[in-house]
Amino acid sequence: MDNNKHLKYFKIENFKGLQSFEMNNIGQFNLIAGDNNVGKTSILEALLFSEELEKLNSYYFHAFTERNNLTSVKEEFDFLSYYFNKQTKSSLIQYVTQYINAEKNSFILRTSSIDKLEQSQLEKLKNKLLISPKLRYVSILERNNQDFAIDLMFNGLGKYPYSPMIFYTTGYRNDLIGFYSENIQKSQKSKSMFLNSLNFFINEIEDIEIVPSEMNNVSLIYIRIKNIDELIPLSMFGEGANKLFRILLEIEMVRGQRLMIDEIDTGIHYSRFKGFWKTIIKSAINNDVQIFASTHNLECLKYFKEALEDEDMILNQDNARHFLVEKIKNGETKAYTYNFEQFETALNMGNEVRGGK
């Protein structure tokens, strides 16, 4: 792993239920396991952090609406404060990040209503306020205790209509059409690789087509199968195929960066896990993407190990990590990092790797 956009250390303070939480020795393929309510999804959301404030706002906005199943948020609503820790009543989040071949950086994210801003801060927002006069909240990101950025908290699609996180509830949706046509369809090479990866779940797949629906003018993704004349909607192929389609697509979209996948095992039959993992790992390598995936499922963990034990995958073992997240006695949430050898030993000896005991 040599991409300098990949995290090797990450710490957050006052983020949702996590008062203080850190991850050490992060790899390129990271599994996160732990008991219910330990904060696995919150950790994935925290990892949406970006040093670009506009992106960070947008990512958290999308994650917020997705997790709460909302289609819109009122403009006078401070949605970022949803991410603040309720116990400490803190009104800011602290981050420490360290990328490969880089020093640690610390950040503070806070929000403010426009009425409480100083004149100099208002000056910075003057042009944006002219365009969006109804917005009432701003987000402020400080880097290493210095003023860094201030931006209107834009409660809408914004410049980045996306967040690099796949929630477990996310199945087939029309957003895939835009993602597909933007990232795959235009390149014959990308399309060929994409079809090849999908073949694992959709046998004899020949092509993917976007076709307007006769019912409601909304386009749908269709699959062309060898020797079958009729196109078949992607949504007909079951949860596993749809999940893999989305994951592979989003890996292409976040090329060089990171993708968070909540409960990656949902909808995947155990007999498919090994191939599923190999497909995802290979795609992540091709696109230089760092993966963070949560799971409860012991079989999913075992097949992750088995996938990496295959001869063609052994070289990737050094980049695999397993994080067991637990609340320890003093109330702190702690991540224990297993390197591949430790993870392999624990599974082979039948020792606990999912926490909760």
Partner 1 sequence: MKKIKFFVEGEADRRFLIDFLKSLDLSVDESNFIILSGNDEAALNNSIIDFQRNTDNDGINLLIFDADEGHKSTLDRLESVKRNLKISFVQFLFPNNKDSGTLEHLLISVVPKSNKVIFDCFDSFEECLKADDRFNPPILKTRVYAYVDSLLSKKERKEREKHADEKYRNYLRKDHWDLTSPALEPLRKFLETHLN
Enumerate binding residues for partner 1 (CB under 8 A).
Answer: 324, 326, 328-329, 334, 336-338, 341-342, 345-346, 348-352, 357
- In this structure, how many other beta carbons lie within 10 angstroms of the beta carbon of residue 269? 12
d(CA 286, CA 284): 5
CB of 330 to partner 1, least distance (A): 8
Cα 26 to Cα 7, 22, 165, 323, 350: the distances in Å are 7, 10, 18, 9, 24
Closer CB to partner 1, 98 or 337, in the complex: 337
Closer CB to partner 1, 206 or 352, in the complex: 352
Q: Which residues have C-beta within 8 Å of that of residue 255, sequence separation ≥ 6?
A: 287, 288, 289
Supply 144's token pair.
């290493």
Q: Among positive and negative, which fits the CA dihedral 161, 181, 70, 290?
A: negative
CB of 337 to partner 1, least distance (A): 8
Closer CB to partner 1, 189 or 329, in the complex: 329
Closer CB to partner 1, 204 or 341, in the complex: 341
Closer CB to partner 1, 224 or 302, in the complex: 302
Closer CB to partner 1, 2 or 350, in the complex: 350
Closer CB to partner 1, 217 or 351, in the complex: 351
CB of 37 to partner 1, least distance (A): 17
CB of 342 to partner 1, least distance (A): 5
d(CA 160, CA 158): 6
CB of 22 to partner 1, least distance (A): 14
Closer CB to partner 1, 271 or 348, in the complex: 348
CB of 30 to partner 1, least distance (A): 15
CB of 311 to partner 1, least distance (A): 22
What is the strand order of the sheet 205-212 is part of? 205-212, 219-225, 232-233
CB of 18 to partner 1, least distance (A): 16
Q: Which residues pair with 165 in a beta bridge?
A: 260
